[in-house]
A and B are shown apart, each in its own frame.
Chain A
Amino acid sequence: KAGVTQTPRYLIKTRGQQVTLSCSPISGHRSVSWYQQTPGQGLQFLFEYFSETQRNKGNFPGRFSGRQFSNSRSEMNVSTLELGDSALYLCASSLEGQGSDTQYFGPGTRLTVL
C-alpha cells in the first residue's frame, strides 16, 4: 500500500495570506489527524477527522481549520498567516482512530511565513 502523502512538501507565504495543505491517507484508513511541529513546542495536535466529521480538536485558534472528504482525504487551512505559524505540518492516518491504532505519518509540509 502507498503511504501517507502530503502536498505540497514546501511552502513559502507572507503574513496575512492563507494556505491550504492536503493529505491523502493510507487506503482504508478512516481517521486523519493533523499536527504542528516546531522546535520550541514539539508536536502539537491540531485536530482529527473521522468519517468526514471533526472528532477531536486541539488548542489552536479558529484560523486553523480542516475538513475531510468522503474518500478520507483531508485538507487543513490556515487563514491570516502569522510568523509563528512557520512549522512542519504533519498528517497522520490510522484505521479507526482507536487508542491502540498505530499512527502512520506523512513526510510533512514545511510552511515558512515571511
Chain B
Amino acid sequence: AQSVTQLDSQVPVFEEAPVELRCNYSSSVSVYLFWYVQYPNQGLQLLLKYLSGSTLVESINGFEAEFNKSQTSFHLRKPSVHISDTAEYFCAVSGGGSYIPTFGRGTSLIVHP
C-alpha cells in the first residue's frame, strides 16, 4: 500500500517570498511522484513529475521539487511566488503494481500582496 502526507493544509505567504510545500510518501516499491495544481473552479493539472534520473525536477513556471529517497519526501519549492500562484497543490504517488496514483489531502497556497 502507498500513502501520501501533505504536512500543511494551508500555507500563507507574501508575494515575492520563497515557499516550500511539504510532501512525504510511503511505499514499499519504486515510485513515481507528481505535483498537481488546481486553480479555482478547475480540474487538476500536472505541475511536475519525477519518474527516474535526476532527483531535481523543474516546472516551466519556476517551481521545482526534489526527490529524496532516504527521507521519502518530494517537497515543492519556489524561490519567489506570485499572486497567480494562489491555488491548491496536490502531491501524488504511484508505482509498483498500482496504476492509480494516491493523492495527498492538498495544500492551499495563499499568496498575499
Contacts and interface: CB of A to CB of B under 8 A. Distances in A.
Contacts of B45: 104-105
Contact of A42 (B42, B94, B96, B103): B103
A35 B42 CA distance: 14
A25 interface: no
B43 interface: yes
B100 interface: yes
A106 B51 contact: no
A31 B99 contact: yes
Contacts of B100: 33, 45, 48, 56, 97
B30 to A, nearest CB: 9
A20 interface: no
Q: Is the interface of B mostly helix, strand, loop or mixed?
A: strand
Nearest to B102: A45
Interface in B3-41: 32, 34, 36, 41
A35 B105 CA distance: 13
Interface residues of B, number: 24
Nearest to B98: A99
B46 interface: yes
B49 interface: yes
Interface string B60-97: 00000000000000000000000000000010001110
A102 to B, nearest CB: 5
A55 B41 CA distance: 29
Contacts of A104: 45-46
Identify the 9 closest CB pairs spanning chains A and B, nearest first: A105-B43, A99-B94, A42-B105, A43-B103, A105-B44, A97-B99, A99-B95, A102-B46, A100-B32
Interface of A: 4, 31, 33, 35, 42-43, 45, 48, 55-56, 90, 92, 97-100, 102-108
Interface of B: 32, 34, 36, 41-46, 49, 51, 90, 94-96, 98-106
6 contacts: A42-B105, A90-B44, A100-B94, A102-B34, A103-B36, A107-B42
